[in-house]
Amino acid sequence: MSDPSPSPLPSRRANADYTVVDRTPVLLLDGELVEVGQPDQAWEGWVWVSNAADRGTYVPVTLLEQISPDQARLREAFQAVDLCLKKGETVSCLREVCGWFWCRNAAGAEGWVPDYVLS
């Protein structure tokens, strides 16, 4: 008997347009040291970090290994890339982290989308 096919990725539909504001997203590498700032007031489980190049973004706290109160190491690489969506567009959700989904659109582009945009 052969292995069953993996189940299809869950799909969700955009209930509104979602436009990306930051066109130069931050890429943090696995093991990279970052300065830890304030928690995100709107999204529980996310915290502001800055890298050695003084580029900052919010990341899930679960990706951080705390070294000191103001410094942490990334447990895995993180891309702060949002995915633009048009209302009615369907995307495959690949991962959910604290209210945000890492999604892939029909063209193969991937990025983060907040849960309130998806139905």
| Residue-number span of the structural domain to which 108 is assigned | 11-21+82-117
- Indicate whether 97 belongs to any domain: yes
Check whether 4 has a pLDDT greater than 90: no
What pTM value is reported for the model? Answer: 0.86
Report the side by side order of strands in the sheet with 90-97.
11-13, 90-97, 100-104, 110-114
DSSP at 32:
-
In a domain, 1, yes or no: no
Q: What number of other Cβ atoms are within 10 A of residue 112's Cβ?
A: 20
pLDDT bin (cut points 50, 70, 90) of residue 9 is low
Q: How confident is the model at residue 25 (pLDDT cuts 50, 70, 90)?
A: confident
Domain of residue 17, CATH code = 2.30.30.40
Q: Are residues 69 and 58 in the same domain?
A: yes
Domain co-membership, 63 together with 38:
yes
CA distance 59 to 39: 9
Mean pLDDT of 78-107: 95
C-alpha 94/C-alpha 113 separation (Å) is 11
**Domain count for the chain:** 2
CB burial string 49-88: b at 16+ within 10 A, e below: bebeeeebbbbbbebbeeeeeeebebeeebebbbbebeee
- Is the pLDDT confidence value at 60 over 60? yes
Answer yes or no: are the C-beta atoms of 91 and 99 closer than 8 Å: no
Q: Are residues 42 and 72 in the same domain?
A: yes
